[in-house]
Amino acid sequence: PEKIKLRKGADDQERGTRVKVFGRVHRERKQKDVVFITLRDGYGFMQCVLTGQLIKTYDILTLARETSIELYGELYEVPPGAHAPENRELHVDYFVIHEGWKAAGGDEAITNRISKDTDHSILMDMRHLTLRGDVASSVLFVRDAVEFAFHQTYRETKLRKVSPPALVQTQVEGGATLFKFDYYGQDAFLTQSSQLYLETCLPSMGDVYCIEKSFRAEKSLTRRHLSEYTHVEAELDFITFSDLLDHLEHVMCRVLEITLADPIIAGYIKELNPEFKMPERPFKRMKYTDAIEWLNEHDILNEEGKPHAFGDDIAEAAERKMTDIINRPIFLTHFPVEIKAFYMPKDKDDSRLTESVDCLMPGVGEIVGGSMRIYKYDELMAAFKREGLDPAPYYWYTDQRKYGSSPHGGYGLGLERFLAWLCKQHTVRDCCLYPRYMGRCTP
Ligand code: 4AD
Ligand code: MG
């Protein structure tokens, strides 16, 4: 017989034929004359039905969840009411559990150790096993699809993919979150963002993007901060600030469209986030100064417990309250110079402000940070000075402003935050394979 994968949503040509399947015992139900096994292989699930002599065997009498098994039998269509995944059933006539394939069972069974109420840090220690669960694997399937959709969207919009270095000697987003290490006797850092490198690619390759890891030595535990995260970054040449916002909105919506066009992935999203709706376009656009006013009108206080004043950072809690009330994506723009990065140019109409944008999503808050970039040499040097940064290690960045500079801008999107929003997960930790955050570097 042919070996088949348990493809979800497949129109089974295999029905009515004898097939061979491999997988793990996801669930098993033993009755007097029949044993039902729900088999899982990472592509889907299949109900396998064992009867007669087969269920009298030692292997089936002692069968534990997660055991690997090779099964043979004929595939039958069953009515929707029969609770069989994909309305199909394998009538098993032969099976093998090879040496080494058995799961421990008993107290060692992962399902005995893990329940809904299990402490999060235990779940994280057991991440290599909890990955096998329905929610964890669904989120990872969606993640795979979303990452692919970003690549497709950037292809469609004519951006080229590059792969900047992760080991660097310059900072992008401030010294406080730099991971420093010894690089052959010199100080070096894990990159916080590939932005500066992407900027150097514009004259060579036109518009570019990358999907790489970024690293932040975040010294607090929040549900949206990781020490290592996947950063989707793009940089566009000869644009205006308004072009940047339009592009960003297009990319985010197109990625959702591509992701949801796959009925299997759409099914996972529906299960994880039943209320999900495509965001309304255009996204709400709100200036920082209006946000400050809005927060005060809604009695949402700053971190010191006082009303918000111009120049205040909008902290995570306030930001989330705002997005939850407004309940749609927001482009928050024109932040004050003091609270934003050195490379951001001033707004032409108000020199207290920058041409910057954060995209905020309900339930998560900021998922994208972007801006235009200072492209005039003298202005950039003044910004280094204002920030107290030594421009020397940035010679390759400042040189860009000497050899044919151009108005350009870009952004970085946190993939795990995007997924936390799309899959309605409480924390970004559940949106990556093996999360890294303060105090955790294992498994
Ligand atoms: O706002 P950030 O710091 O902006 C930059 O790094 C720019 N240089 C990007 C660019 O313009 N190319 O980070 C961008 C996004 C945030 O909006 C957030 O989604 C994500 O990266 N992010 C994190 N995600 C998880 N854990 C962390 N510690 C994160 N820090 C930032
Ligand atoms: Mg930011």
In tens, the pLDDT along 263-293 reads: 999 999 999 999 999 999 999 999 999 999 9
Band (pLDDT 50/70/90 cuts) for residue 101 is very high
**pLDDT reported for residue 25:** 95
Centre of ligand 2 from the C-alpha of residue 339, in Å: 10
Q: Which ligand is nearest to the CA of 416?
A: 1
Model confidence at 16: pLDDT above 90: no
DSSP per residue, 79-148:
-GGG--GGGEEEEEEEEE--TT-----GGG-HHHH--TTS-HHHHHHTHHHHTTSHHHHHHHHHHHHHHH
Centre of ligand 1 from the C-alpha of residue 84, in Å: 43
CA-closest candidate to residue 5, choices 49, 42, 37: 42
pLDDT digits (tens, 9 = 90+) for 338-361: 999 999 999 999 999 999 999 999
Nearest CA to ligand 1 atom 28: 225
CB 65, CB 80: distance < 8 Å: no
According to the CATH classification, is domain 128-431 in 3.30.930.10?
yes
Centre of ligand 1 from the C-alpha of residue 370, in Å: 9
Query: Residue 232 and residue 148: Cα distance in Å, rounded?
Result: 12
Q: Give percent of the chain above pLDDT 90.
A: 87
Mutate to test the pocket of ligand 1, among 168, 171, 173, 218 (most ligand atoms within 8 A of CB): 173
Centre of ligand 1 from the C-alpha of residue 369, in Å: 6
Q: Report the b/e string of 346-370 with b at 16+ CB within 10 A.
A: bbeeeeebbbbbbbbbbbbbbbbbb
Mutate to test the pocket of ligand 1, among 162, 199, 216, 230 (most ligand atoms within 8 A of CB): 216
- Segment 286-307 mean pLDDT: 95
Model confidence at 222: pLDDT above 70: yes
Model confidence at 11: pLDDT above 80: no
Each domain of the chain, given as residue ranges in start order, spans 2-107, 128-431
**pLDDT reported for residue 12:** 63
Mutate to test the pocket of ligand 1, among 239, 366, 408, 428 (most ligand atoms within 8 A of CB): 366
Query: Residue 428 and residue 416: Cα distance in Å, rounded?
Result: 5
- CATH for the stretch 2-107: 2.40.50.140
118-122, 156-160, 317-321: least confident range: 118-122
